[in-house]
Structures are given as structure tokens and as C-alpha cells.
């Protein structure tokens, strides 16, 4: 039983998320390409700090941009000998790419790192600091980290340097605050696959017994600061040595048998802790957090005269629990609380009253509510989408291409829409396991009307409406646009309702309580967009929607075939939003979902 719980949550990450052997390939492709691009970017920055030739610097920067924008695996291009066909990549850079792919690093980069401390690159993210200024700070004041930089500003040592001044000093301090806020948090979808890869490697190549990811990653928070990994092992020194030798590791920050901290090539920090098997559950609970949840748990323990920490639960000197998380929770009178709920948002009260939700499971998701095909700006054919869905064990996919007016995204003209409808019908006859649903992501125009006429919308089985333009409108305008769409009798759902893009774009001004009110009144669904940078609705809005009985539909918004694998990220948001199976339309079978779509239209007509 105890093992089951630990395994269950390992499996959430390692198995349920990774349904096919190629699962998360897209992330891995992204990371591979990103890793190569990252090295080039760092080389460019280090050369800049050194004061190297600007043309040389620009060449590395351009190459990094090209590689980052690639949608194919750079290793594949290297194998096919196509690297030199890429813009800005000549024989020299192609050779360097191959070196990185072969060795995991670049000798030029390793040499530069010996000359210039890597942390200086962080300084370049501070708006008022360019490479020349960073060079001065390093050479004149010997500053090599953010704390020293902050201290030097506060002691007014910076203003006196040539080329600096009072204003620069002030700006640097402001920049440091911004940097700290922004830095450190990465989208879960970017970090989770790294954590999984590391866990798999350590399981395979080092003597670990238990191993699990903890912290915000285990809670599936939308962004995470670092990777927390917990291990039990009788040979901790061997495990820790292996940790430092992982190809993904850039720098060892601290080495020890119980705790080792490293920085990965992508810049994120990873803390690995080896704990005693007897404390496994207590440590897992403690390091999973959240801190706010832990504090409440500790208070409950104290009320019962118990002490709880990362080693166990104690009555006086006696240890009464610690081996498993379930045992730890039980010792203070609580049932097991799923990590996604551990935010001190009422889960402790619910647990005490026996009212914890039975969260929707990853394997209860049967379909994807939002996929783009070649009919608009997607890159996959309907046939490829069916094949991929089958591999992932899904039974239906809603093909929701953009509507006619959205020319930049290959919006589907009306005549093609009917070709698509026929194509889907033909494929569905031949495909017993996976059914496609004829859908459209219909643009809500700036006046709130929709981008296809009603007689066309009526032919589309699933209409999900969305805002793609006019983000700068007032809150009232945007809210009214969405409300008009929700009230339209042929619309079933609203896609990515707030428009936010994590780390890139704030939500547009929208009055969410009003949207929820109207969606609830009209029985319309809201999307949990599962694309790793959207996750829109977020956990908080998802919960608000669930509480109002609004149906939720998870859609990956995939434009590339492997992006279908983002689906579990949407399920994670649903779980963090306290959703149960009944709240999520994706748990319906194809027939049930089609029936729901029809029923909603019939109700709307009345």
C-alpha cells in the first residue's frame, strides 16, 4: 500500500505522462536544439564580455537564433548532412554543432569559461548592463555574483566607476529585483522532461532504491524554480558522483553525500538529496511542499502533541511515522493528499472533513479538444494525427483549425471547410480506434461577431471560439466580445480564455467573473489549453469554473504532431483546479462527447 502511493505519483510523472516510448519527444527535441543554441548564445555573450570581434559574435548569435527556430531535430539534420543548408551556418559552425552533438559541449566554450566566470552572463539579463559594463565590474571590482553586485551598488562603489553613475547604480538595483523575480521560474513543460530524463538515467546507471521528483514539479505547478530530487540508496557516494557526471550537468555547485547541487546546461539548478529509507515518506512530504501546506500540516501535528519534520513524525523522542507519505499523513489524522492539491487552498480542511475531491486521473483523458491540422497552420495531416492519437491511446481528436479571416494562421476558407468535413467523415469510416471531430477554432472579431456565417457554423460539429486580435481593447470590450461568443447558440466553448503566454504575454484585460457567470448560465465550456506556455485557464480559474459547474475541455492546441503530448499538462492544471472526472469533457467517449455537443446546440436553440 505504502509503496503504491509513492509509485503512483512516480508513475504520474514517469508513466502516465509518458504513454508512448516517444512521449515528450517534442520537449526533448526542443531541449536538444535549445541546448545547442544555448551554448552558441553563451559563447557570443562571453566573447562580448571579452571584447571580441563583433562579426564573430553576431555569427554565433545568428546561428543560435536559427537553431532555436528549428522545428526539426538538429541531430537529424546533422545525420542527413543538412546543417550547412541552414541560414547563417557555414562549414565552421556546422563543425561546431557536430562537436556539441558528439561531446555535449564545445571546446571553445570550455576555454572561454576558464577565462570568464559563467555567472557574469546572468548580469547581461539586467537591463542597464551590457557586456562592456560587465567587463568593468569584473575587472575593477572583482564582482562575480548578483549578491556582490547588489552590495557594491548599496555601498555606492559602482557610481564612481568610469562610464557608470548614480543613475546606473539605481537602475542596476531595480534590474536586480526584476531579474530575481523573472529568473528562476521556468515553464513546467520545459523542466519536467529534464527531470524525467535524469530520474531514468539515475535509475538505470546508479544504485538508487527509491527516487522521485519533489517540490513544485511534483505538485505540477505551472512554473518551477528548480528541480528537487529525492533518493534512498545504500551507496550515496556512488549516486552523487553519477549526478555530477550527468551529461546535462554544467556545473557542480555543492557536493556531498546527503545533498548535491548542480546547475544544468539549461541554467536551472537541481538539488539532489539522499535520505534514509526510514524517512523517505517524511522527506518526500516535506520537500514536495508547498511551504504553506507544510506549515498547516505542522500546526495540525502540534495540536496533537506531535513534531513533524523531514525525518519523520515524533511523539517526544519516539518516531511514530516517516517511511511513507501515507503513514505520515495518517499519523496526524489525514488521508493522503495528492501533491497537486498541496497549496494550502483548503485541501487540509477538505481532508479533515473527508471531502477531498477524487481528482481526474491522467489515464481518464480519452480525447484532445483542440488540434490544428494542415488545413490551417498545423503541420500534420489528418492521417498523421490519427496515427499519433492511436499511439497515445486516445480515442478522439477535435480538429479545430483557424477560421477564414485569420490569414496569418492559415485560416480555412469556407470551401475548404467542406472538403475537410468530407475528409474527416471518410477517415472516421476507416478508423475504428480513433475518431476525428470536425471542429473549428473560430475567431471572435473585434465587434464580438464570429468569423464564419451562422449557416456555416451550424455545419461544424464543434465550435470553439477565441480571441486572436485586438488584445489592446479595454476590459469591457474584450469581456463583451467573449460574452457575445458565449451567448451565440452555435458556439460550444471558448479557447484559451485569458490569452496569457507564460513569461511572454500577460492576459488581456478580461473580467473573468463575468465570463464565468455567462458560461455557467449558458452551459458553455471553457478550455484548459494544455500548450506548455499557455496553460490557460490556469489552476485558479479552472477551480473557479469547476465550482460554478462549467464544463472544461482540455486541448493541446497542437500545431506539430508531437505537441499532442502536452495533453497531461492540461490534466495537471485540471487536477490543481480540484477537477474530478465529471468536470472534464475529455473523459467522455467519442459518442458521449458528440452527444454533448448536439445537446448543447439543441438547448441553445430554445
Which one of the spans 12-20, 216-224, 388-396, 430-438 is the region binding ligand DGT (CB under 6 A)? 216-224
Which one of the spans 5-13, 19-27, 94-102, 225-233 is the region binding ligand DGT (CB under 6 A)? 225-233
CA-to-CA dists, residue 399 to 369, 510, 545, angstroms = 8, 27, 24
Cα-flanking dihedrals φ and ψ of residue 228, to 5°?
Answer: -110, 120
Cα 583 to chain centroid distance, Å, stands at: 22
Helix or strand holding residue 525 (H, E): strand 525-529
Q: How far apart are CA 38 and CA 340, in angstroms?
A: 31
Interacting positions 482-541 with Ca ion (CB under 5 A): none
Residues near ligand DGT (CB under 6 A), total: 14
Question: Are 275 and 256 within 8 A, CB to CB?
Answer: no
Site pattern 293..322 for ligand DGT (x: CB under 6 A): -xx---------------------------
Shortest distance, CB of residue 338 to ligand DGT, whole angstroms? 15
Which of Ca ion, ligand DGT, none has residue 289 at its interface (CB below 5 to 8 Å by kind)?
ligand DGT
Shortest distance, CB of residue 565 to ligand DGT, whole angstroms? 22
Place of cell 451550424: 458
Shortest distance, CB of residue 227 to ligand DGT, whole angstroms? 8
Which one of the spans 227-235, 401-409, 412-420, 554-562 is the region binding Ca ion (CB under 5 A)? 227-235
Contacts of 255 (CB under 8 A, 6+ apart): 240, 244
- Is 228 near Ca ion (CB under 5 A)? yes
| Overall size of the chain counted in residues | 606
Question: Are 287 and 219 within 8 A, CB to CB?
Answer: no
Interacting positions 264-293 with ligand DGT (CB under 6 A): 286-287, 289-291
Instruction: Please name which of 187, 94, 158 lies closest in space to residue 538, comparing C-alpha atoms.
Output: 187
Which of Ca ion, ligand DGT, none has residue 550 at its interface (CB below 5 to 8 Å by kind)?
none
Shortest distance, CB of residue 300 to ligand DGT, whole angstroms? 13
Site pattern 156..195 for Ca ion (x: CB under 5 A): ----------------------------------------
* Helix-then-strand count for the chain, H and E: 25, 17
Site pattern 170..209 for ligand DGT (x: CB under 6 A): ----------------------------------------
Which one of the spans 213-221, 310-318, 340-348, 364-372 is the region binding Ca ion (CB under 5 A)? 213-221
Residue number of the CB atom closest to ligand DGT: 289
Q: How far apart are CA 1 and CA 86, in angstroms?
A: 54
Spell out the SS3 assignment of 287-318.
HHCCHHHHHHHHHHHHHCCCEEECCEEEECCE
When the beta carbons of 289 and 322 are compared against ligand DGT, the nearer one is: 289
Shortest distance, CB of residue 295 to ligand DGT, whole angstroms? 6
Instruction: Please name which of 253, 213, 209 lies closest in space to residue 235, comparing C-alpha atoms.
Output: 209
When the beta carbons of 216 and 479 are compared against Ca ion, the nearer one is: 216
- Is 343 near Ca ion (CB under 5 A)? no
Among 48, 196, 222, 226, binds Ca ion (CB under 5 A): 226
Written as nine digits, the cell of 365 is 483523458
Shortest distance, CB of residue 215 to ligand DGT, whole angstroms? 3
Peptide bond into 589 cis (omega under 30): no
Among 228, 368, 451, 565, binds ligand DGT (CB under 6 A): 228
* DSSP codes joined into one string, 355-403: ----BPPGGG--EEEEE--TTTT--S-HHHHHHHHHHTT--EEEEEEEB
Which of ligand DGT, Ca ion, none has residue 151 at its interface (CB below 5 to 8 Å by kind)?
none
Side-by-side strand order, sheet with 462-466? 367-371, 396-402, 435-443, 462-466, 493-494, 525-529, 552-555
CA-to-CA dists, residue 362 to 15, 365, 392, 567, 591, angstroms = 10, 6, 12, 9, 20
Shortest distance, CB of residue 443 to Ca ion, whole angstroms? 39
Interacting positions 90-119 with Ca ion (CB under 5 A): none
Instruction: Please name which of 554, 553, 530, 558 lies closest in space to residue 192, comparing C-alpha atoms.
Output: 530
When the beta carbons of 218 and 372 are compared against ligand DGT, the nearer one is: 218
Which of Ca ion, ligand DGT, none has residue 561 at its interface (CB below 5 to 8 Å by kind)?
none
- Is 225 near ligand DGT (CB under 6 A)? yes
When the beta carbons of 304 and 598 are compared against ligand DGT, the nearer one is: 304
Question: Are 466 and 473 within 8 A, CB to CB?
Answer: no
DSSP, collapsed to helix, strand or coil, labels residue 17 as coil
- List residues near Ca ion by CB under 5 A: 215-216, 226, 228
Residues that bind ligand DGT (CB under 6 A): 215-216, 221, 224-226, 228, 286-287, 289-291, 294-295
Amino acid at each position: 500500500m505504502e509503496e503504491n502511493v509513492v509509485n503512483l505519483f512516480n508513475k504520474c510523472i514517469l508513466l502516465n505522462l509518458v504513454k508512448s516510448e516517444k512521449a515528450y519527444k517534442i520537449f526533448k527535441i526542443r531541449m536538444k536544439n535549445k541546448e545547442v543554441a544555448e551554448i552558441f548564445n553563451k559563447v557570443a555573450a562571453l566573447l562580448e564580455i571579452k571584447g571580441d570581434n563583433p562579426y564573430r559574435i553576431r555569427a554565433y548569435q545568428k546561428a543560435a537564433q536559427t537553431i532555436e527556430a528549428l522545428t526539426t531535430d538538429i541531430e537529424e539534420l546533422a545525420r542527413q548532412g543538412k546543417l550547412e543548408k541552414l541560414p547563417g551556418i557555414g562549414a565552421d559552425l556546422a563543425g561546431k554543432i557536430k562537436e556539441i552533438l558528439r561531446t555535449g559541449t564545445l571546446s571553445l566554450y570550455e576555454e572561454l569559461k576558464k577565462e570568464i566566470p559563467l555567472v557574469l552572463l546572468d548580469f547581461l539579463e539586467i537591463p542597464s548592463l551590457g557586456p562592456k559594463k560587465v567587463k568593468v565590474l569584473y575587472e575593477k571590482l572583482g564582482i562575480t555574483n548578483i549578491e556582490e553586485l547588489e552590495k557594491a551598488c548599496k555601498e555606492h562603489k559602482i557610481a564612481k566607476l568610469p562610464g557608470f553613475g548614480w543613475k546606473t547604480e539605481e537602475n542596476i538595483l531595480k534590474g536586480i529585483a526584476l531579474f530575481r523575480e523573472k529568473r528562476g521560474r521556468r515553464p513546467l513543460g520545459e523542466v519536467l522532461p529534464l527531470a524525467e530524463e535524469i530520474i531514468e538515467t539515475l535509475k538505470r546507471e546508479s544504485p538508487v532504491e527509491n527516487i522521485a521528483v519533489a517540490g513544485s514539479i511534483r505538485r505540477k505547478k505551472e512554473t518551477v524554480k528548480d528541480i528537487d530530487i529525492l533518493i534512498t540508496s545504500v551507496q550515496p557516494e556512488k549516486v552523487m558522483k553519477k549526478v555530477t557526471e550527468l551529461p546535462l550537468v554544467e556545473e557542480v555547485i555543492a557536493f556531498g553525500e546527503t545533498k548535491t547541487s548542480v546547475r544544468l546546461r539549461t541554467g536551472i539548478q537541481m538539488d539532489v538529496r539522499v535520505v534514509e529509507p526510514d524517512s523517505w515518506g517524511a522527506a518526500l512530504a516535506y520537500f514536495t511542499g508547498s511551504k504553506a501546506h507544510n506549515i498547516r500540516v505542522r500546526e495540525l501535528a502540534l495540536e496533537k502533541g506531535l513534531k513533524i519534520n523531514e525525518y519523520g513524525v515524533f511523539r517526544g523522542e519516539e518516531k511514530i511515522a516517516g517511511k511513507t507519505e501515507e503513514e505520515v499523513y495518517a499519523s496526524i489524522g489525514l488521508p493522503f493528499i495528492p501533491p497537486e492539491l498541496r497549496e494550502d487552498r483548503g485541501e487540509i480542511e477538505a481532508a479533515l472533513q473527508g471531502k477531498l475531491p477524487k481528482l481526474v486521473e491522467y489515464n481518464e483523458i480519452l480525447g484532445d479538444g483542440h488540434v490544428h491540422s494542415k488545413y490551417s497552420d498545423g503541420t500534420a495531416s489528418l492521417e498523421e494525427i490519427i496515427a499519433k492519437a492511436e499511439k497515445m491511446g486516445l480515442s478522439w481528436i477535435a480538429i479545430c483549425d483557424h477560421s477564414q479571416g485569420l490569414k496569418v494562421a492559415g485560416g480555412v476558407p469556407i470551401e475548404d471547410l467542406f472538403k475537410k468535413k468530407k475528409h474527416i467523415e471518410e477517415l472516421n469510416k476507416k478508423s475504428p480506434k480513433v475518431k476525428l471531430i470536425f471542429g473549428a477554432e473560430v475567431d471572435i472579431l473585434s465587434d464580438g461577431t464570429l468569423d464564419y456565417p451562422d449557416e456555416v457554423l451550424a455545419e461544424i460539429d464543434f465550435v470553439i471560439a477565441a480571441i486572436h486580435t485586438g488584445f489592446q481593447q479595454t476590459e469591457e470590450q474584450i469581456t463583451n466580445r467573449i460574452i457575445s461568443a458565449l451567448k451565440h447558440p452555435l458556439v460550444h466553448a471558448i479557447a484559451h480564455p485569458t490569452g496569457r503566454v507564460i513569461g511572454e504575454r500577460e492576459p488581456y484585460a478580461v473580467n473573468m467573473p463575468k465570463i464565468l457567470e455567462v458560461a455557467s448560465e449558458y452551459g458553455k465550456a471553457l478550455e484548459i489549453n494544455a500548450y506548455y506556455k499557455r496553460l490557460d485557464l490556469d489552476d485558479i480559474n479552472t477551480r473557479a469554473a469547476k465550482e460554478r459547474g462549467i464544463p472544461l475541455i482540455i486541448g493541446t492546441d497542437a500545431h506539430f504532431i508531437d505537441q499532442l503530448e502536452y495533453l497531461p499538462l492540461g490534466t495537471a492544471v485540471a487536477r490543481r483546479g480540484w477537477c474530478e472526472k465529471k468536470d472534464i469533457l475529455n473523459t467522455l467517449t467519442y459518442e458521449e462527447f458528440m452527444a454533448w455537443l448536439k445537446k448543447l446546440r439543441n438547448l441553445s436553440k430554445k
